[in-house]
Structure 1
Amino acid sequence: MGYGLHPDAFMGGDEALENAFPVGDGTADTSATVACPYCGQAVEIALDPGSGTHQDYVEDCEVCCRPWNVSVSYQPDGSAEVGVEAADDSD
């Protein structure tokens, strides 16, 4: 005979759980595909959700090696909005 808790035993805490863990699959984006502002190639970049909800940093294109300014903003559901722009204006 099993002594597990019936799922109804957790009723009443659903609202608190929903506030703590909003609708979604419970994971944050860890990669994104962006277009290089110099060469136009689609490049997949790694994201680090543990570095905060808003991040700005410089990363080089893996195709043409030119530097980008990368901006990442995590939404409450874990999805990331990612933007890249040219980091230098030497052209």
Structure 2
Amino acid sequence: MPGGLIETAVSSRESRDDRQSNLLATSGRLRLVPYSCAFCGEENEVFVDPSGGRRQTFTEDCTVCCRPNMITLTVDDDGDVHLQVTQEYEA
């Protein structure tokens, strides 16, 4: 949704079962997680690095419109990944 806050959650079980071809979903390894651009709404993917900690904030440019998305990522006790995506300009 352009101009708004977008939240995404990807469970470990869903990642392994439904998105196996798109994820490197073993514990302690990089995972590829989808998100929608906060500007144009197009789907993008971002690598999640577990060595970065349980809460990470970083900027990722959209592969379609090239605008900066601020991504706040949290990993819960079950290993589920939650993304909050906002326009970097709002931060």
Give the TM-score, by structure 1 length.
Answer: 0.63
Residue 36 of structure 2 corresponds to 35
- Counterparts of 1:81 and 1:31 in 2: how far apart (Å)? 13
- Counterparts of 1:51 and 1:84 in 2: how far apart (Å)? 18
- Counterparts of 2:63 and 2:51 in 1: how far apart (Å)? 23
Residue 64 of structure 1 corresponds to 65
- Counterparts of 1:67 and 1:50 in 2: how far apart (Å)? 23
Cα displacement (A) at 1:44: 1.3
- Counterparts of 1:59 and 1:68 in 2: how far apart (Å)? 5
- Counterparts of 1:80 and 1:40 in 2: how far apart (Å)? 20
- Counterparts of 1:63 and 1:48 in 2: how far apart (Å)? 23
What does residue range 9-24 of structure 1 map to in structure 2 within 5 Å? none
What does residue range 42-81 of structure 1 map to in structure 2 within 5 Å? 42-81=43-82
SS across alignment from 2:51: helix
- Counterparts of 2:43 and 2:33 in 1: how far apart (Å)? 10
Residue-pair matches, total: 66
Cα RMSD after superposing both structures: 2.1
- Counterparts of 1:70 and 1:79 in 2: how far apart (Å)? 16
For the pair shown, the structure with the greater C-alpha radius of gyration is 1
Cα displacement (A) at 1:76: 1.2
Cα displacement (A) at 1:31: 2.1
- Counterparts of 1:63 and 1:55 in 2: how far apart (Å)? 23
Instruction: Give structure 1 regions of 4+ aligned residues with deviation exceeding 2 angstroms.
Output: 24-29
**Higher fraction of strand:** 2
